[in-house]
Chain A
Amino acid sequence: MSAREEILRAVRAARPAATPHPDVRAFARELPDAADDLAARFSAAASAAGARILEGRRSDVARLIAGAYPEARVVVSAVAGLAGTAPLGDVPRTLAGIDLFVCEARFGVAENGAVWIPASGAGARAALFLAPHEVVVLEREAMAANLHEACARLDLAGESFGAFVAGPSKTADIEQALVIGAHGPKTLTLILVDG
């Protein structure tokens, strides 16, 4: 018997008594309505996670980035209509020398300050983690109140990868001291845009 068959057979023989599958959507609907001022709650949570928040019109984005990262020389952009200084290469390793990566998130999550970035929005998945600094553009209106709403919204069809990203990378593995910038970006700037 194959390992697969043997494991499935053992699991089947061990099954405890069946219980119903809870209705998570019904649970989420019962929660007190938290739909007000999602952008403000999102910003507070994202700041607490170590992100910097900027706001403006979509046409302001290039100017805001230049103001926030004046030192950045090699800028790679995955945002349509926003030119970087270097192309988004196909080979992940060629991205190792970039200074700044810019991409767009599909939506934010007010309860924890995370943004959802699928592979199709990140361009090259490696850039999201190799870049020392990162800018994520997000429409102010694109907000889920909590992870229940966020997970109901996830569209993984055709995506090889997607990530909720809450702030820059961090660690507290040495004596619980918080250090921003573990293996991924050392800074993360979110730009909330209107329309």
Chain B
Amino acid sequence: MSRSLPTVGPGASAVPVDHAAAAARFTADEARTDWHDGALWHVRRNRDRAAAAVPEWEALRELASAIKEHTLARLDEYLVEFEANALAHGVRVHWARDAAEHNAIVAGILEAAGARRLVKSKSMLTEECGLNPYLEARGVEVVDTDLGERIVQLRQEPPSHIVMPAIHLKKEEIGTLFHERLGTPAGLSDPTALTAAARADLRARFLAADAALTGVNFAVAETGGVVVCTNEGNADLGTALASVHIASLGIEKVVPTLDDLGVFLRLLARSGTGQPLTVYTSHVQAPRAGQALHFVLVDNGRSRQLARAGFWRSLKCIRCGACLNTCPVFRRSGGHSYGASLAGPIGSVLTPGFDLERYATLPFASTLCGSCTAVCPVKVDLDAQLYRWRQQVTAAGLAGRKKTLLARVAGGVLGRPRLFALAGALARALLRRLPRPLLRAGAGPWGAARELPRAPAQSFRSWYRDRQRRQGRTS
């Protein structure tokens, strides 16, 4: 079963992502677009309520940002400290330069343990690496156990959101899927009943699993343990039962101390779903009796991103999803339109670093309104980074002919005051005289969904000149 859109690695497609074209397919269904927009805005409002209930919220964000920046500036030291403490507890620590190495390490661990059945909990890193198809090709049965992830796995599609993988689906669609795959009664679409069916199906798989793989929210250098946050309890059920636990983590997940961890835990769930804390915040410190515990530390482009002066702060991200929920473009184009394992503003900032040509359209999938930056719990300057990527995309000649030409013409006009005044006068005259359909056609895709403004009688500059003259007379 191949479903992921790995960002890099074995299954990555070389076809450039056309975000605007994919978004147009999504918005063709207007009712669904409105529904999707509303569902995410609801989560954004839950976040607002949770944040407002903490008086020190803004100071907390500042603190979290400062801790992450401090940590990233000494990341090699904290990684070594984390590794030493983990090793002291009997954890086996592996290092992977890239996605292919990560996948090979995981496959090697499973093979050595004779494990054929793997239960997974949410891990954006394994989506990034394309782990599922890699393991399935080697005969491993991979079962995603987070309900949303299970739904998209059964549909053979990637998750559309970091925190809510199946947010793009309606309950009736999930009901049909479960009828076909889990044998629920036809027409059943009640979320409680569907969840119960998934619970029963997955409980049997948990009990039969040979190995469990989890993502990691935080790795604490001073304790050598990892912290996994879930609401469903799926990560814990998997790791408490299986005789092998593999935790895969990007190297940027390290925080120095438990005190630092507390700051991020206060921010993560409030920003992501509006809960004060996820139901389970689990610290995995050492293998259980009879269990093997592996940590796989993955670079896969992170050290390269750390070296980029304008972009290293994106590594502060704690994957809460708040920037997706608030983004007017994400809400109305859906996670799949980004064609990458991470969507939304954070995805558009991280993925161009993997392959600028393939992801050249993503930095333009934004209005640069800055709402993402305003809600980010660790103060990643997302809109500024999107703007910087646009400049790099354009400099590399990847912005596309239309965009490049338009920018060149606009630059030429805006840089010449007299030409600008002339163009303005011409535009006002045309807006008044040309028939409406022709005008809207001339405005391109922008005009397709909008009315053009009524032409003002005069430009701002001439209005201002007149005003100065009048004031000169009265004073």
Residues of A within 8 A of B (CB): 2-4, 6-8, 10-22, 24-25, 27, 31-32, 45, 49, 90, 92-93, 96, 109, 111-114, 125-126, 128-130, 146-148, 150-152, 154, 156, 159-177, 179, 181-185
Contact = CB atoms under 8 A, between A and B. Distances in A.
B106 interface: no
Contacts of A126: 237, 240-241
B225 interface: yes
A129 to B, nearest CB: 4
A168 B234 CA distance: 13
B166 A174 contact: yes
A170 B276 contact: no
B276 A24 contact: no
Given A7-B97, A181-B195, 8 more contacts: A7-B251, A15-B76, A49-B276, A49-B277, A169-B279, A172-B273, A174-B195, A175-B170
Nearest to B298: A7
Interface residues of B, number: 91
B213 to A, nearest CB: 16
Contacts of A14: 303-304, 306-307, 312
A108 B304 CA distance: 42
Contact of A179 (B69, B191, B299): B191
A164 B280 contact: yes
B234 A20 contact: no
B312 A16 contact: yes
Nearest to A7: B299
Contacts of B237: 126, 129-130, 183-184
A184 B231 CA distance: 9
A60 to B, nearest CB: 27
27 contacts: A10-B307, A11-B79, A11-B306, A14-B304, A15-B73, A16-B309, A18-B73, A21-B67, A21-B70, A21-B256, A49-B276, A112-B277, A147-B262, A161-B285, A161-B286, A163-B236, A163-B280, A163-B282, A166-B277, A169-B279, A171-B231, A174-B169, A174-B191, A176-B43, A176-B164, A181-B199, A183-B232
A49 B203 CA distance: 23
B262 A148 contact: yes
Contacts of A181: 195-196, 199
B24 to A, nearest CB: 25
B258 interface: yes
A129 B73 contact: no
B148 interface: yes
A114 B297 CA distance: 29
Q: A-B pairs with the 7 shortest C-beta distances?
A: A184-B233, A151-B262, A182-B232, A173-B148, A14-B307, A112-B276, A10-B303
A24 B288 contact: no
Nearest to B195: A179
B266 interface: yes
Interface string B288-322: 11000000010100011011010010000000000
Contacts of B113: none
Given A162-B283, A174-B174, A184 B236 contact: yes
Nearest to B71: A21
Contacts of A163: 236, 280-283
B95 A171 contact: no
A14 B73 CA distance: 8
Given A10-B303, A16-B306, A165 B280 contact: yes
Contacts of B306: 11, 14-16
A184 B263 contact: no
A129 B63 CA distance: 34
Contact of A6 (B69, B97, B275, B284): B97
Contact of B199 (A19, A130, A182): A182
B231 A151 contact: no
B217 interface: no
A160 B194 CA distance: 34
A61 B475 CA distance: 86
A133 B196 CA distance: 15
B436 interface: no
Contacts of B241: 92-93, 126, 130
Nearest to A185: B233
Nearest to B66: A22
B259 A148 contact: yes
Nearest to B39: A176
Given A167-B279, A171-B231, A175-B171, A15 B287 contact: no
Given A16-B312, A184-B233, A152 B259 contact: yes
A45 B206 CA distance: 31
B73 A16 contact: yes
Q: Could you say which of A114, A129, A174, A179 has the most chain B C-beta atoms within 10 Å of its C-beta?
A: A174
Interface in B394-453: none
Contacts of A8: 76, 79-80
A141 B287 CA distance: 32
A18 B232 contact: no
Contacts of B352: none
B101 interface: yes
Contacts of B261: 151
Interface in B176-207: 191-192, 194-196, 199, 202-203, 206-207
Given A20-B70, A160-B287, A173 B165 contact: yes
B355 interface: no
Contact of B262 (A150, A161, A162, A165): A150
Contacts of A162: 282-283, 285
Nearest to B98: A3
B146 interface: yes
B96 A3 contact: yes
Contacts of A150: 262
B147 A171 contact: yes
